[in-house]
Amino acid sequence: MTSNTAALEADYERAIKDKLDGFGISSPLGGGIDCEKAFKKKINNLKKREQVINAKFNRVLVGDITQLEGDELTDFIAQCNFSEEYLFETDLHTIVEALYVKLYDYKNMMDTIPSDNEL
As a whole number of angstroms, the distance between CA 100 and CA 62 comes to 10
Percent of the chain with pLDDT over 70: 68
- For residues 73 and 66, the answer to whether their CB atoms sit within 8 Å is yes
- For residues 99 and 67, the answer to whether their CB atoms sit within 8 Å is no
pTM, 2 dp: 0.63
pLDDT of residue 116: 61
Percent of the chain with pLDDT over 90: 56
* pLDDT, tens digit (0-9, with 9 covering 90-100), for 11-40: 667 767 666 665 555 555 555 567 888 888
**Residue 62: how many other CB atoms lie within 10 Å:** 19
